[in-house]
Structure 1
């Protein structure tokens, strides 16, 4: 199973302590084990551009769409045998202490299938 792991800043989390930041060790270990496919940091929300199309016109806005104290600081793509394995890997990431980690399983796109039929099938309807 593939998971997108969002690394999220969280002002309510433990204070950041650089000496406890073991990100290099986490990246090396998960890459060597083959569970981390790729990942990187993201620039702060002030560097974001929001893109929308309304009435056929492309609209852009500097900064994030939502105003929030939390923001996505990075991402990693994981390939794990199960959600439990992904949780174990995410729990060792330093931002699990200094922020939060959100895991989302991939939902493969089949352009030939009606998404409503797929949702109903997966919901067991």
Structure 2
């Protein structure tokens, strides 16, 4: 079955500014997504904020993300699904799709023999 990675991007400052109530609602929406996706979710994690990232390019290591941008990768899910339409239907449940500062990028995974 094809695999897809859902990359969740957004403004980390806005995620960090969520109230306790907003964080609970956000986490509940992710729980609803995982419940709806069921065993199609084969992996995923929330990531530390982008200032905690380390970037390596060639022999140069730097703190933080390489690009200066408001949108940072905040987490991901790995799904197995029949097709992109099935993934799109599930991804619409993620709260980042509705938030004005964030979005979800869906990328098919290349399967090597």
TM-score, length of structure 1 as denominator length: 0.72
How big is the shift at 1:28? 2.8
The one of 39, 42, 51 equivalent to 1:46 is 51
Aligned residues of 1:10 and 1:100 also touching (Cα < 8 A)? no
Gaps spanning 5+ residues in structure 2: where?
13-17
The one of 14, 22, 31 equivalent to 1:24 is 31
**Cα separation, 2, equivalents of 1:67 and 1:75:** 20
The one of 100, 104, 108 equivalent to 1:101 is 104
The runs of 4+ residues in structure 1 deviating greater than 6 Å are none
Aligned residues of 2:32 and 2:93 also touching (Cα < 8 A)? no
**Cα separation, 2, equivalents of 1:6 and 1:59:** 25
Aligned residues of 2:7 and 2:73 also touching (Cα < 8 A)? yes
Which is higher, the Rg of structure 1 or of structure 2?
Answer: 1
SS of match in other structure, 1:25: helix
| Matched residues, number | 102
TM-score, length of structure 2 as denominator length: 0.78
